[in-house]
Amino acid sequence: MSPSHNLPPLNDRRCALVVIDMQNDFIPGGQLAVQGGDEIVPLINRLGARFRNVVIAQDWHPAGHVSFASSHPGRAPFDSVQLPYGAQTLWPDHCVQGSHGARLHADLDLPHAQLIVRKGCNRDIDSYSAFVEADRRTPTGLAGYLKERGIDSVYLVGLALDYCVAWSALDARAAGFSTALIVDACRAIDLDGSLQRALGEMESAGVKLIDSMALPT
């Protein structure tokens, strides 16, 4: 993993923890469960207490979202289709607005989080990243929010490492943020080698991959 040098202290005003998709549908028992997804909740709570700036990203799909296999007759979850913005993996219906599955995990304890950014709200565009939707043109507004707050360094945790967390990390780097992914505070889907691909892409983009024990104090 990357060394932690040059990372500012976690409670620095310039730092934010970005918590990705810690929602019931991504937890074991949910519609798109990530194995071990519930195991990282206590660690995320402990990490969150060390940051003065915390942002939570939340998948928030309308019913009938274009990324749902049920919206494409004859298709099954994990099939791929071509949409106007490119290839789209189809998923089971998940994180439908207002549903139990879309709620944050009940044990997630980040009362000082200042912002919840909801993504995937456009019925016709998916959004893995907390920064830019899957058409790669539509911003969520998170980069502007952080920059206006004077934040230039972000640490990412959550689900799933090889999809929404990785896309968020890559987009944070593209937006000019110093970016670190806390690997042991994430879990991955690892669909057809997606985990190793994501780790390689993040390292190539300058994302620091670190363990929580190596974080600056």
How do residues 106-138 score in pLDDT, each as one tens digit? 999 999 999 999 999 999 999 999 999 999 999
Among residues 164, 171, 186, 208, the one annotated as catalytic is: 164
pLDDT under 50: residue ranges of the chain:
3-5
Closest CA to 132 of 179, 172, 176: 172
pLDDT computed for residue 11 by the predictor: 93
Active-site annotation holder among 119, 126, 162, 208: 119
Record: fold of 15-62+103-214? Rossmann fold (3.40.50)
Q: CA-to-CA distance for 207 and 60, rounded, in angstroms?
A: 26
Domain extents in the chain: 15-62+103-214
How high is the pLDDT of residue 191? 80
- The answer to whether residue 147 is catalytic is no
Tokens 């907390």 belong to residue: 130
- Please give the backbone phi and psi of residue 117, each rounded to the nearest 5 degrees, phi first: -100, 120
Query: Which of 151, 153, 216, 209 lies closest to 185 in space, CA to CA?
Result: 209
Catalytic residue among 15, 21, 59, 126: 21
Would you say the C-alpha torsion 213, 182, 40, 35 has a positive or negative sign?
A: negative
Report helix angle 166-174 to 194-205, nearest 10: 20
208 as an active site residue: the answer is no
pLDDT at position 4 is: 46
Q: What pLDDT, on a 0 to 100 scale, did the predictor assign at position 192?
A: 84
The answer to whether residue 164 is catalytic is yes
- Amino acid letter at 66? V
Cβ neighbours of residue 111 under 8 Å, at least 6 residues apart? none
Q: What is the pTM of this model?
A: 0.94
Neighbours of 103 (CB within 10 A): 14
